[in-house]
Amino acid sequence: MNLSILRLGITNNFFRQTRISQSVLYCRYSSSGNQKLQQFNIRDEVPDGRPLYLDAQATTSLDPRVLDTMMPFLTNFYGNPHSRTHYYGWETETAVEKARSDIANLIGADPKEIIFTSGATESNNIAVKGVGRFYGAKKKHIITTQTEHKCVLDSCRALEGEGFKITYLPVDKSGLISLEALDKAITPETSLVSIMAVNNEIGVKQPMADIGKLCRSKKVFFHTDAAQAVGKIPLNVNDMNIDLMSISGHKIYGPKGIGAIYIRRRPRVRVEAIQSGGGQERGIRSGTLPAPLVVGLGRACEIAQKEMAYDHKRIEYLSKRLIDGIMGQLEHVVRNGDPETSYPGCVNLSFAFVEGESLLMALKDVALSSGSACTSASLEPSYVLRAIGTDEDLAHSSIRFGLGRFTTDEEVDYTIDKTVKHVSRLREMSPLWEMVQEGIDIKTIQWSQH
């Protein structure tokens, strides 16, 4: 944890919060000169065993059924799937092609349209750079949103350096794009629209079918980063007119280091390969396929297709339990993103008058993620939260709760109790909270610099 200090100047008192390593020290100084010192060291609270895991948007655990399917290919079935001259290669190739079919079935695609990659980051790079460069001689305009994953935004910036024009569409306070704005942004020079299906920070679901219909009517290719959506919500590339889709294995209880990209064959989408080699995967992604990982991804998709409805209903129940439990006991808690159009497994909450990084450290027995990105020099609020118009103070106080297939009621209840306890404790130490309790509107205060 980087050492950082947050100073807030107030007319009658000031509050200093110092965070060093895994401890938190709070000091409050009053105008009378008397110093009141309160200290809370989270090292004093030792978790019993490993922390609970509530960070399903970062990664998911490997489903034991996936591991069972992978094990033979980590031991006895070690053939190269591209070896066509002997049985070892044939048996591995058969397993790889079954996995390709399982992935295709999950999204309503043809198995020939599935290309294996190392993950969604590589898939996004292939989609954005590959389409952009292939059609770049005639079309040098790409449209994306301000809330995309960093790999999409950085790929777009790389193309900007090559002379492309990139339009970064804004989103409303719910995190949704405006279809009217997208329509106006498309020009005869536009080759690709890239919009993620489910946002990884606030869980908002974009209107895939409407976007796809608009892009198809304008004869523009539509790519979606579906790493957070595949296997969690129903997706059909034909019904939604999706031309390219990025998939990640470890977000759907599969292994890390494997993913896929769907590339439509009719009407055909052409991409320029960003990696040279032996021409595997239709020449789009050269390199020997890691058969155990491929088989694991296929099995994860097969399970997701069968259990998607059950998982969604279960996670929806846990999400409501979590939100009601926290908001029923704490005031000044805001859910970021539109709850009506969000995936329930991603719950992003802002706790006013509490600094998110401090709350994360206090909740060290629950694995969570903050909406704030901690840099070496400063605490910058998440660009996604900034894009939806969240106040900077609230953006700094955001926590993302990620619920998954293996999350239990007891884990949710434990997280509720701990969150309420530590938010209350941290607020008690804050002069801002004290002022709000006294009915003072802190937004009207003239802040001084120290």
Q: What is the mean pLDDT of residues 331-358?
A: 94
Tell whether the model's pLDDT for residue 248 goes beyond 50: yes
Residue 6 has pLDDT above 90, yes or no: no
DSSP state of 351: E
DSSP string computed for 148-194: S-HHHHHHHHHHHTTT-EEEEE---TTSPPPHHHHHHH--TTEEEEE
pLDDT for residue 371 is more than 80: no
Query: 395 vs 372, which has greater pLDDT?
Result: 395
Q: What whole-number distance in Å separates Cα of residue 349 and Cα of residue 333?
A: 7
pLDDT of 441 above 90 = no
**Cβ-proximal residues to 26 (8 Å cutoff; 6+ apart), any chain:** 15, 16, 17, 38, 39, 40, 429
Domains of the chain, first to last = 31-60+308-441 (3.90.1150.10), 64-305 (3.40.640.10)
Mean pLDDT lowest among 19-28, 300-309, 425-434: 19-28
- How far apart CA 228 and CA 251 sit, in angstroms, is 7
Please say if the pLDDT value at position 321 is more than 80.
yes
Confidence class for position 19, pLDDT limits 50, 70, 90? very low
pLDDT tens-place string over residues 389-402: 999 889 999 999 99
pLDDT band for 29, please (50, 70, 90 cuts). Answer: very low
Q: Are 337 and 174 in contact (CB under 8 A)?
A: yes
Strand order in the sheet with 35-40: 4-9, 14-20, 23-29, 35-40
Give the model's confidence band at 25: pLDDT under 50 very low, under 70 low, under 90 confident, else very high: very low
Q: What percent of the chain has pLDDT over 70?
A: 86
State residue 39's pLDDT score: 56
What is the phi/psi pair of residue 349, to 5°? -120, 140
Task: Report whether pLDDT(374) > 60.
Answer: no
pLDDT digits (tens, 9 = 90+) for 183-233: 999 999 999 999 999 999 999 999 999 999 999 999 999 999 999 999 999
Q: What's residue 40's pLDDT?
A: 56
Please, what is the angle between helix 120-134 and helix 150-160, to 10°?
30
Q: Give me the pLDDT at residue 448, please.
A: 67
Mean pLDDT of 76-92: 97
Does residue 112 contact residue 269 with C-beta atoms inside 8 Å?
Answer: no
**pLDDT exceeds 50 at position 36:** no
Q: Which of 252, 248, 261, 251 is nearest to 304 (CA)?
A: 252
Q: Who wins on pLDDT, 450 or 11?
A: 450
pLDDT score of 431: 81
CA–CA gap between residue 299 and residue 154 (Å, rounded) = 31
Quick one: pLDDT band at residue 37, thresholds 50, 70, 90?
very low
Across the strands, what pairs with 141?
165, 190
Predicted structure pTM score: 0.88
Confidence band for 21, pLDDT divided at 50, 70 and 90: very low
Least confident of 3-17, 39-53, 304-318: 3-17
Residue type at 443?
K
What number is the average pLDDT over the span 11-31? 39
Confidence of residue 8 (pLDDT cuts 50, 70, 90): very low
pLDDT in tens, 153-178: 999 999 999 999 999 999 999 999 99
Those residues with Cβ within 8 angstroms of residue 56's Cβ, 6 or more apart along the chain or in another chain: 345, 346, 402, 403, 404, 407
* pLDDT of the residue at 43: 60
pLDDT of 55 above 60 = yes
pLDDT at 375 over 80: no
pLDDT at 437 over 90: no
Q: Give the pLDDT confidence score for residue 444 in this predicted structure.
A: 73
- Which pLDDT does position 370 carry in this prediction? 84
Angle at 125 between CA 120 and CA 126, to 5 degrees: 95
* Residues 5, 257: Cα–Cα separation, whole Å: 37
pLDDT at 447 > cutoff 70: no
28 residue type, one letter? R
Give the residue numbers marked as catalytic.
374
Contact 121, 258 (CB under 8 A): no
Q: Which of 21-30, 110-119, 276-285 has the lowest mean pLDDT?
A: 21-30
Task: Flag whether pLDDT at 257 surpasses 50.
Answer: yes
Asked if the model's pLDDT at residue 10 lies above 90, the reply is no
CA atoms within 13 A on the CB side of 204: 21
Average pLDDT of the chain is 89
Answer for the pair 262, 224: CB distance below 8 angstroms, yes or no: no
Render the burial of 407-432: b for 16+ CB within 10 Å, e for the rest: beeebbeebbebbbebbeebbebbbb
Enumerate the H helices of 218-355 as residue ranges: 291-327
Q: How confident is the model at residue 436 (pLDDT cuts 50, 70, 90)?
A: confident
pLDDT at 372 over 80: no
